[in-house]
Copies of this chain bind each other. A is one copy, B any other.
Amino acid sequence: MGEDRQRVGRPRSEQARTAILHAVDDLLVEVGYAALTMKGIAERAGVGRQTVYRWWSTKAEVLFEAAITDAVEELTKPPQATLLDDVSTYLEAVEGFLTGSHAGTAYRALLGEAQHDPEVARLVGSAALFDGPSRAVLERGISRGELPPGTPLDAAMAVLTGPAFYLGLTGAAVPGGSVRAFAPALVAAVRELAAD
């Protein structure tokens, strides 16, 4: 596949790698994405600048690797008994992730950067962060019989994720105080999609 880079010579230092990922995590919280620099990351990690560049091209790539695993975990919640509960839980997870979490801050920074850098856009797009969790909710709904088997998943995923995503990204206040209140409406929307 390509995973066998370099067979001779000194092997890559796992210690340096984790020090860099930790440094980028810490610095994002401490100084914010705008003030995050490759120089700063290297110094914080106690690592040569070249060592960072050797394995990642931009601060976006480092941040992506540092944050994406946590991000997926935060969005994955245990199954609920009903579709409505499942959707409510998912919406809450999305809201919490975007507005209150560490990994979510990293994701928003990356998505922001993606708006003016196609390279980062490709990187972030490759994660398709919300796809797995939202698809799981829908598939559980189908297997429970709460949704017809022909439900168009891609469209339904966008319907489930969109509103909370929009509120999180624009920083708008959540109407009604909690995004859980959207659940019945979005379930209705998904059923309507399936009916077409």
Interface residues of chain A, those whose CB is within 8 Å of chain B, are 32-34, 108-109, 111-117, 121, 124-125, 128, 152, 154-155, 158-159, 161-167, 169-172, 175-176, 181-182, 184-193, 196
Contact in complex: A155, B175 (CB < 8 Å) = yes
**Cβ contacts under 8 Å, A184 to chain B:** 192-193, 196
**Cβ contacts under 8 Å, A191 to chain B:** 188
Measured CA separation A186–B109 after assembly (Å): 29
Contact in complex: A189, B196 (CB < 8 Å) = no
Q: Count this chain's copies in the assembly.
A: 4
Further 12 A-B residue pairs, CB within 8 A, beyond A109-B116, A165-B166: A32-B117, A109-B115, A112-B112, A112-B113, A158-B172, A158-B175, A162-B164, A162-B165, A162-B166, A184-B193, A188-B192, A189-B192
Measured CA separation A185–B71 after assembly (Å): 29
Q: What secondary structure prevails in chain A residues at the interface with B?
A: helix
Contact in complex: A161, B171 (CB < 8 Å) = no
**Cβ contacts under 8 Å, A125 to chain B:** 170-172
Measured CA separation A193–B175 after assembly (Å): 11
| Most interface-central of A112, A125, A165, A192 (chain B CB within 10 A) | A112
Contact in complex: A111, B114 (CB < 8 Å) = no
Contact in complex: B170, A34 (CB < 8 Å) = no
Measured CA separation A164–B166 after assembly (Å): 9
Contact status of A155 and B170, CB under 8 A, knowing A115-B111, A116-B32, A184-B196 = no
Shortest Cβ distance from A119 into B: residue: B34
| Most interface-central of A113, A163, A188 (chain B CB within 10 A) | A163
Contact status of A154 and B175, CB under 8 A, knowing A34-B117, A111-B115, A162-B163 = yes
Measured CA separation A32–B119 after assembly (Å): 13
Contact in complex: B169, A115 (CB < 8 Å) = yes
**Cβ contacts under 8 Å, A185 to chain B:** 155, 159, 189-190, 192-193, 196
